[in-house]
């Protein structure tokens, strides 16, 4: 199951410039490599707070900073990479089995996240040591 690990990737989304206001979009299996089962968003994050601190066994996500900016820190069990999102026409593909934290939220930032699975607490790995052990077996 875990042997099909993909890599994180910043995706530049289409941007339709218009003097009436710009428009961007993404579609299932086009700009994002999965079918969307769930959409959620994170907002009103108090200064200095962090979200995440877990990995998913199977869930994959695509994260867009619809407003403001924040960092997504992805950890493969050996190396941490910081992805700064600050434009609404860039998104970050987050494969399964990456330890994820989101921090450095700007005031009034809005994080849109789409997922390839419905919410399932059993899909979460919330213990970092357990995550690193599982990673070693991939």
* Residue closer to ligand TYD (CB basis): 15 or 38: 38
Parallel/antiparallel/unpaired status of strands 15-16 and 23-24: antiparallel
* Residue closer to ligand TYD (CB basis): 52 or 68: 52
The H-or-E segment that residue 133 falls in is helix 128-136
Three-state DSSP at 122 gives: helix
Evaluate the CA torsion angle 5, 8, 108, 49 in order and state its sign.
positive
For position 77 contacting ligand TYD by CB under 6 A, the verdict is no
Integer Rg of the chain from CA: 15
Q: Which residue has the tokens 């960092």?
A: 71
126 a catalytic residue: no
Question: d(Cα 10, Cα 64) in Å, to the nearest integer?
Answer: 10
- Report the site for ligand TYD in 118-137 (rule: CB under 6 A): 119
Shortest spacing between CB 38 and ligand TYD, in angstroms: 6
Phi, psi angle pair for 4, to nearest 5°: -110, 35
Site string for ligand TYD, 12-51 (x = CB under 6 A): --------------------------x-x-x--------x
Catalytic residues: 54
Could you list the residues that contact ligand TYD (CB under 6 A)?
38, 40, 42, 51-52, 54, 119
């Amino acid at each position: 199951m875990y042997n099909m690990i993909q890599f994180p990737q910043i995706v530049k989304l289409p941007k339709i410039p218009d003097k009436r206001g710009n428009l961007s979009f993404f579609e299932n299996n086009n700009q994002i490599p999965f079918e969307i089962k769930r959409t959620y968003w994170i907002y009103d994050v108090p200064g200095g707070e962090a979200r995440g601190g877990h990995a998913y066994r199977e869930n994959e996500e695509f994260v867009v900073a619809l407003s403001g900016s924040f960092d997504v820190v992805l950890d493969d069990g050996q190396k941490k990479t910081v992805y700064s999102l600050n434009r609404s026409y860039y998104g970050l593909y987050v494969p399964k089995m990456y330890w994820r934290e989101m921090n450095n939220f700007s005031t009034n930032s809005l994080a849109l996240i789409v997922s390839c699975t419905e919410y399932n607490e059993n899909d979460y790995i919330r213990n970092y040591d357990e995550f690193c052990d599982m990673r070693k077996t991939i």
